[in-house]
């Protein structure tokens, strides 16, 4: 992975952690919040998408719309699953479990479906990243996952991770094999979400308004940052970075999450969390050199 591609992935990780913190704060709004922030994203990024399509016309054969629809459906399921997980459990459990499950499965998918050959250094880096995530999330106390909230966090985190793995492989195929521009792929995936959620919002309009009261600034923030973080990842893959390396390298977002928890949310950061960050950093370096 080149330095430019690695820089994009690192920046995306910090942006990703930021919008997830915002999403957690609006967890009670549920699907309504997903509708709101994806609508913001569609409006905000539409000029860029139009410019890309006009400047570089795409080949709209049958495979491209199929990929866009598949990506949109998986991303919708991911957004709803993540938001529900934040309602049921703590960010410190759902987020790391999801981010740890996702790269494991997406790397396997990249090896099997995209033909990317794993290296021993890359596999070691993957193990370090996932191990670091476990240390950061539990602070060395695995019994945290045995509590009711921890069990709910595991269930929703694993489900979210499965969807992360699914859309990572589908979108990598869209960018690499079908030559879909990253911003175009992400925009169409976003567009499908408010379209499919619109009937739910219209049926419960009074409740929807009440749910979004005080959350619109968070929706705007997530709507602007969520696509940006993923577009940067897709751009890194478009530059030739293997999906099997990009997916786990994105988990540097856990380091950013720990920093945001310390500085913004005033969460305690103990020795094990610091060790976990160091292990993750080592894993990311190994992935970058593989």
pLDDT over 70 at 129, yes or no: yes
How far CA 277 is from CA of 121, 133, 251, in Å, comes to 19, 8, 10
pLDDT over 90 at 46, yes or no: yes
Q: How confident is the model at residue 246 (pLDDT cuts 50, 70, 90)?
A: confident
Percent of the chain, pLDDT > 70? 76
Interval 78-87 mean pLDDT:
88
Q: What is the mean pLDDT of the chain?
A: 80
Residue 261: the pLDDT is: 63
Residue 230: the pLDDT is: 80
**Of 83, 57, 72, 10, whose CA–CA distance to 284 is shortest?**
10
* Domain parsing of the chain, residue ranges: 3-289
pLDDT over 70 at 5, yes or no: yes
**Of 127, 105, 147, whose CA–CA distance to 244 is shortest?**
105
pTM of the shown model: 0.77
Q: How many Cβ atoms sit within 10 Å of the Cβ of residue 127? A: 15
């Amino acid at each position: 992975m080149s330095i430019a591609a690695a820089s994009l992935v690192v920046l995306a990780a910090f942006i990703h952690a930021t919008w997830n913190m915002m999403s957690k704060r609006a967890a009670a709004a549920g699907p309504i919040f997903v509708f709101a922030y994806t609508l913001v994203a569609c409006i905000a990024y539409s000029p860029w998408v139009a410019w890309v399509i006009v400047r570089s016309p795409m080949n709209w054969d049958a495979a491209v719309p199929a990929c866009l629809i598949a990506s949109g459906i998986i991303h919708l399921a991911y957004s709803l699953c993540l938001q529900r997980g934040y309602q049921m459990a703590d960010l410190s459990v759902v987020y790391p479990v999801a981010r740890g499950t996702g790269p494991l499965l997406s790397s396997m998918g990249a090896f099997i479906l995209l033909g990317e050959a794993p290296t021993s250094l890359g596999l070691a880096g993957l193990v370090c990243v996932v191990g670091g995530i476990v240390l950061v999330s539990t602070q060395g106390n695995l019994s945290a996952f045995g509590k009711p909230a921890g069990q709910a966090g595991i269930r929703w985190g694993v489900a979210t991770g499965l969807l992360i793995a699914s859309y990572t492989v589908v979108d990598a195929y869209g960018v690499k094999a079908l030559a879909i521009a990253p911003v175009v792929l992400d925009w169409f995936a976003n567009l499908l979400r408010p379209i499919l959620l619109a009937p739910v919002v219209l049926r419960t309009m009074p409740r929807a308004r009440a749910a979004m009261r005080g959350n619109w600034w968070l929706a705007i923030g997530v709507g602007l940052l969520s696509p940006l973080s993923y577009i940067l990842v897709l751009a890194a893959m478009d530059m030739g970075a293997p999906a099997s390396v990009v997916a786990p390298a994105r988990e540097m977002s856990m380091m950013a999450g720990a920093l945001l928890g310390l500085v913004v949310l005033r969460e305690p950061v103990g020795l094990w969390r610091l060790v976990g960050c160091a292990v993750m950093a080592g894993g990311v370096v190994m992935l970058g050199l593989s």
